[in-house]
Amino acid sequence: MHGRPRQPPQAEDAASASKASNLRELQSKLLHNHHQRIYSQEAIDASSKLLDINPEILTAWNYRKLAFQHNLQEASDPPHFKSLVNDELRVVEMALRRNPKSYGAWYHRKWVLSQGLLEVDFDREFYLLDQLLKVDARNFHGWSYRRFVAKMKDVSEVEELKFTMDMIDSNFSNYSAWHNRSALLSHLLSKKAHGFDEREKILAEEYDLVRQALFTDPSDQSGWFYHLWLLDQTVTPDEVLLISSWPFDGSNWCITVDEDKVHCKVSQLPCSSYYFLNSGKLPIVLYFNQPVKGVHSSSVIVNSVFVKNEDLIWRPVTPTKSEQAACWVVYIGIPDFQKIDTKVYAVEINIGHSKDIISSNGSVFSHPLQFRFNLSFNSISLEHAEVESIDELFVWNDSGSSVAEHCGFFPFNRVNASEDHTLKSSKWNLETISYEIDLFKELEENCKFVKLTLARLFLAQDAMMSYKTCSLIHSRDVLRLFDDLIRLDPMHAGYYEDERSIVVVNQVTSDEQSLMSQNSHSSNYFSSKLPLNGCIQLTNLSLTRIGSVDRLLWVQVLDLSHNKLHSLAGIEALQLLTCLNLRNNQINSLTALEPLKLLSFLRVLDLSFNKIGAHPVDTTRYLCHSPLSHSIFGAKKCIEDYLEANINVTDHWEAILLFRELRLKQLEVKGNVVADENFRDLFAKVASHADLA
Amino acid sequence: MGDLEVHKHVQYIISVEKKKESFEALVMEHLRMNGAYWGLTTLDLLQNITAVDQEEVISWVMSCWDQDSGGFTGTVGHDPHVHYTLSAVQILALFDRLDILDKDKVSSYIARLQNEDGSFSGDIWGEIDTRFSYCAICCLSILHCLDKINVEKAVNYIVSCKNLDGGFGCTAGGESHAGQIFCCVGALSIAGALHHVDRDLLGWWLCERQCKDGGLNGRPEKLADVCYSWWVLSSLVMIDRVHWIDKTKLAMYILSCQDRENGGISDRPDNAVDVFHTYFGVAGLSLMEYPGLKSIDPAFALPVDVVNRIFFKKP
Ligand SMILES: [Zn+2]
A414-428, B34-48, B67-81, B161-175: segment of lowest average pLDDT = A414-428
What average pLDDT does the segment B77-83 reach? 97
Instruction: Report how far ligand 1's centroid is from the alpha carbon of B225 (Å).
Output: 5
Closest residue in A to B32 (Cα–Cα): A57
Interface residue B21 vs chain A (CB under 8 A): yes
- Three-state DSSP class for A160? helix
How many helices (H) and strands (E) are present in chain A, helices listed first?
A: 20, 19
Instruction: Report how far ligand 1's centroid is from the alpha carbon of B125 (Å).
Output: 27
pLDDT band at A401 (very low <50, low <70, confident <90, very high): very low
Task: Give the integer Cα–Cα distance in Å for A365 and A367.
Answer: 6
Residue B141 and residue B190 in contact, taking contact as beta carbons nearer than 8 Å? yes
CATH numeric code, A513-692: 3.80.10.10
Quote the pLDDT of residue A523. 35
| Yes or no, beta carbons of A180 and B123 under 8 Å apart | no
Q: Which residues contact A480 (CB under 8 A, 6 or more apart)?
A: none
What 8-state DSSP symbol labels residue A594? G
Instruction: Report how far ligand 1's centroid is from the alpha carbon of A301 (Å).
Output: 57
End-to-end CA separation in angstroms for chain B: 45
What average pLDDT does the segment B269-280 reach? 95
Phi then psi for residue A293, to 5 deg, are: -125, 175
CATH topology of domain A19-235: 1.25.40
Residue B85 and residue B137 in contact, taking contact as beta carbons nearer than 8 Å? no
Q: From the CA of B189, how many Å to the nearest CA of chain A? A: 6
Domain definitions of chain A by residue range: 19-235, 242-388, 427-465+471-508, 513-692
Average pLDDT of the residues of chain B = 95
- Three-state DSSP class for A574? coil
Interface residue A40 vs chain B (CB under 8 A): no
What average pLDDT does the segment A314-322 reach? 94
Average pLDDT of the residues of chain A = 84
Quote the pLDDT of residue A338. 56
| Yes or no, beta carbons of A27 and B29 under 8 Å apart | yes
Task: Give the integer Cα–Cα distance in Å for B119 and A581.
Answer: 45
Smallest CA-to-CA distance from B89 within B298, B309, B300, B308 is with B300
Is the pLDDT confidence value at A272 over 50? Answer: no
Is the pLDDT confidence value at A269 over 50? Answer: no
Q: Which residues contact A326 (CB under 8 A, 6 or more apart)?
A: A287, A288, A289, A290, A291, A292, A550, A573
Phi then psi for residue A446, to 5 deg, are: -100, 25
CATH code of the domain in which B55 resides? 1.50.10.20
A21-25, A571-575, A682-686: segment of lowest average pLDDT = A682-686
pLDDT tens sequence across A389-399: 444 444 444 43
Taking contacts as CB-CB distances below 8 angstroms, the residues of chain A near B241 are 495, 619
A217-221, A410-414, A489-493, B197-201: segment of lowest average pLDDT = A410-414
pLDDT tens sequence across B275-305: 999 999 999 999 999 999 999 999 999 999 9
The sheet that has A535-537: what strands, in order across it?
Answer: A535-537, A557-559, A579-581, A604-606, A666-668, A691-692
Task: Give the integer Cα–Cα distance in Å for B29 and A24.
Answer: 10
| Yes or no, beta carbons of A58 and B123 under 8 Å apart | yes
pLDDT tens sequence across A130-159: 999 999 999 999 999 999 999 999 999 999
- CB-based burial label for A198 (10 Å; 0-12, 13-18, 19+): exposed
pLDDT band at B50 (very low <50, low <70, confident <90, very high): very high
Percent with pLDDT over 70 in chain A: 83
Range of the domain at B63: 6-312
Instruction: Report how far ligand 1's centroid is from the alpha carbon of A140 (Å).
Output: 16
If one counts every other C-beta atom within 10 angstroms of the C-beta of residue A473, the result is: 13
Closest residue in A to B83 (Cα–Cα): A58
A148-152, A263-267, B56-60: segment of lowest average pLDDT = A263-267
Most confident of A189-198, A256-265, A291-300: A291-300
The sheet that has A300-303: what strands, in order across it?
Answer: A274-276, A264-268, A252-257, A369-378, A345-351, A300-303
Task: Give the integer Cα–Cα distance in Å for A494 and A597.
Answer: 27
pLDDT band at A621 (very low <50, low <70, confident <90, very high): very high
Total count of domains within chain B: 1
If one counts every other C-beta atom within 10 angstroms of the C-beta of residue A234, the result is: 21
- CB-based burial label for B27 (10 Å; 0-12, 13-18, 19+): middle
Question: Residues B93, B95, B96, B99: what is their CA dihedral angle, to the nearest 10 degrees?
Answer: -80
> In whole angstroms, how far apart are CA A658 and each of A566, A594, A686?
17, 7, 9
A55-59, A519-523, A603-607, B109-113: segment of lowest average pLDDT = A519-523
B308: nearest CB among A320, A493, A650? A650
Quote the pLDDT of residue A395. 44
Q: Which residues pair with A267 in a beta bridge?
A: A254, A274
Q: Which residues contact A254 (CB under 8 A, 6 or more apart)?
A: A266, A267, A268, A269, A375, A376, A377, A378
What average pLDDT does the segment A86-109 reach? 96
Closest residue in B to A19 (Cα–Cα): B23
Interface residue A6 vs chain B (CB under 8 A): yes
Is the pLDDT confidence value at A271 over 80? Answer: no
A617: nearest CB among B176, B261, B289? B289
Q: Which residues pair with A364 in a beta bridge?
A: A358
Residue B33 and residue B62 in contact, taking contact as beta carbons nearer than 8 Å? no
Q: Which positions 214-243 of B are in contact with A (Cβ < 8 Å)?
A: 214, 219-222, 225, 237-243
A182: nearest CB among B164, B190, B266? B164
pLDDT band at A436 (very low <50, low <70, confident <90, very high): very high
**Three-state SS annotation for chain B:** CCCCCHHHHHHHHHHHHHCCCCHHHHHCHHHHHHHHHHHHHHHHHCCCHHHCCHHHHHHHHHHCECCCCCCEECCCCCCECHHHHHHHHHHHHHCCCHHHCCHHHHHHHHHHCECCCCCEECCCCCCECHHHHHHHHHHHHHCCCHHHCCHHHHHHHHHHCECCCCCECCCCCCCCCHHHHHHHHHHHHHCCCHHHCCHHHHHHHHHCCECCCCCECCCCCCCCCCHHHHHHHHHHHHCCCHHHCCHHHHHHHHHHCECCCCCCEECCCCECEEHHHHHHHHHHHHHCCCCCCCCECCCCCCEHHHHHHHHHCCC
Diameter of chain B measured on Cα atoms: 52
Task: Give the integer Cα–Cα distance in Å for A244 and A235.
Answer: 20
Q: From the CA of A417, how many Å to the nearest CA of chain B? A: 27
Q: Which positions 9-38 of A are in contact with B (Cβ < 8 Å)?
A: 9, 12, 16, 19-20, 23-24, 27, 31, 35
| Yes or no, beta carbons of A62 and B308 under 8 Å apart | no
Q: Report the relative pairing of strands A281-293 and A325-333 from DSSP bridges.
A: antiparallel
Interface residue A99 vs chain B (CB under 8 A): no
Q: Which residues contact B72 (CB under 8 A, 6 or more apart)?
A: B33, B61, B64, B65, B66, B80, B81, B84, B85, B87, B88, B89, B106
Taking contacts as CB-CB distances below 8 angstroms, the residues of chain B near A492 are 207-208, 210, 244-246
Taking contacts as CB-CB distances below 8 angstroms, the residues of chain A near B29 are 27
- CB-based burial label for A632 (10 Å; 0-12, 13-18, 19+): middle
Helix (H) or strand (E) holding A309: none
Task: Give the integer Cα–Cα distance in Å for A446 and A442.
Answer: 11
Question: Is residue B1, in this structure, part of any structural domain at all?
Answer: no
Interface residue A148 vs chain B (CB under 8 A): no
CA A315 to chain centre: 19
| Yes or no, beta carbons of A140 and B175 under 8 Å apart | yes
Quote the pLDDT of residue A537. 86
A263-267, B90-94, B108-112: segment of lowest average pLDDT = A263-267
Q: From the CA of A121, how many Å to the nearest CA of chain B? A: 22
> In whole angstroms, how far apart are CA A572 and each of A331, A618, A659?
15, 21, 16
Is the pLDDT confidence value at A256 over 70? Answer: no
Closest residue in B to A186 (Cα–Cα): B164
Mutate: best of B21, B69, B130, B165, partner A, most A CBs <10 A: B165
Task: Give the integer Cα–Cα distance in Å for A231 and A273.
Answer: 44
- Three-state DSSP class for A668? strand
Is the pLDDT confidence value at B228 over 90? Answer: yes
Is the pLDDT confidence value at A386 over 60? Answer: no
Mutate: best of B280, B311, B314, partner A, most A CBs <10 A: B311
Q: From the CA of B74, how many Å to the nearest CA of chain A? A: 9
pLDDT band at A177 (very low <50, low <70, confident <90, very high): very high
Stronger pLDDT, A442 or B214, i.e. the higher one:
B214
The half-sphere exposure of A345 on its side-chain side, counting CA atoms within 13 A, is 18
**Three-state SS annotation for A323-390:** CCEEEEEEEEECCCHHHCCCCCEEEEEEECCCCCCEECCCCECCCCEEEEEEEEEECCCCCCCCCCCH
Residue A588 and residue A612 in contact, taking contact as beta carbons nearer than 8 Å? yes
Phi then psi for residue B46, to 5 deg, are: -80, 5
Torsion sign over Cα A205, A211, A212, A213:
positive
CA A683 to chain centre: 31
> In whole angstroms, how far apart are CA A67 and each of A43, A88, A147?
9, 11, 28
